[in-house]
């Protein structure tokens, strides 16, 4: 088992769980105020859509964690499998960059996402 990829997988799983829990407690309730035009749908429909979209991000992090876990278990990696790792590195780096720029560094996720990208890069032998 590759340690760097295992830690990256656990961090990704952690990010997903924190994202869902913090979202439900602090962010989603604020978004449920009726500020959107109702021609987009009922308030209930809009609230459910926001919740669904929010948790899709969590599912993406959990899915990526599972892929990282599988990469860690398959070590050493062949070139085809390593390509999957490079795709994940790019996704985590892009996510970290967006978080850093959009939040102007105030949202801590860019630090964890950068760490996951670096650990994945190290783990795949980048």
Look at residue 34 in the predicted model and tell me its pLDDT. Answer: 61
Cα 20 from Cα 4, distance rounded (Å): 25
Is the model's pLDDT at 36 over the cut of 60? Answer: no
Look at residue 78 in the predicted model and tell me its pLDDT. Answer: 86
The pTM for the full model equals 0.85
Look at residue 76 in the predicted model and tell me its pLDDT. Answer: 84
Domain extents in the chain: 3-123
| Per-residue pLDDT reduced to its tens digit, 71-97 | 999 878 888 889 999 999 999 999 999
Longest dimension (CA), the chain: 54
Look at residue 87 in the predicted model and tell me its pLDDT. Answer: 96
Q: What does the pLDDT average to over 36-61? A: 80
Residue 107 Cα distances to 87, 96, 97, angstroms? 24, 10, 11
> Is the distance from CB of 28 to CB of 50 less than 8 angstroms?
yes
> Which is more confident, 28 or 62?
62
Look at residue 8 in the predicted model and tell me its pLDDT. Answer: 97
């Amino acid at each position: 088992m590759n340690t760097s990829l295992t830690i990256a997988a656990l961090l990704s799983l952690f990010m997903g769980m924190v994202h869902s829990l913090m979202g439900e407690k602090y962010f989603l309730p604020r978004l449920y105020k009726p500020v959107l035009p109702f021609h987009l749908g009922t308030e209930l429909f809009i609230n459910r859509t926001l919740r669904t979209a929010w948790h899709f991000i969590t599912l993406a992090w959990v899915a990526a964690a599972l892929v990282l876990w599988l990469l860690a278990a398959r070590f050493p990696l062949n070139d085809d499998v390593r390509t999957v790792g490079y795709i994940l590195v790019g996704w985590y780096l892009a996510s970290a960059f967006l978080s850093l720029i959009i939040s102007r560094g105030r949202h801590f996720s860019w630090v964890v996402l950068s760490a996951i990208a670096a650990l994945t890069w190290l783990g795949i032998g980048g």
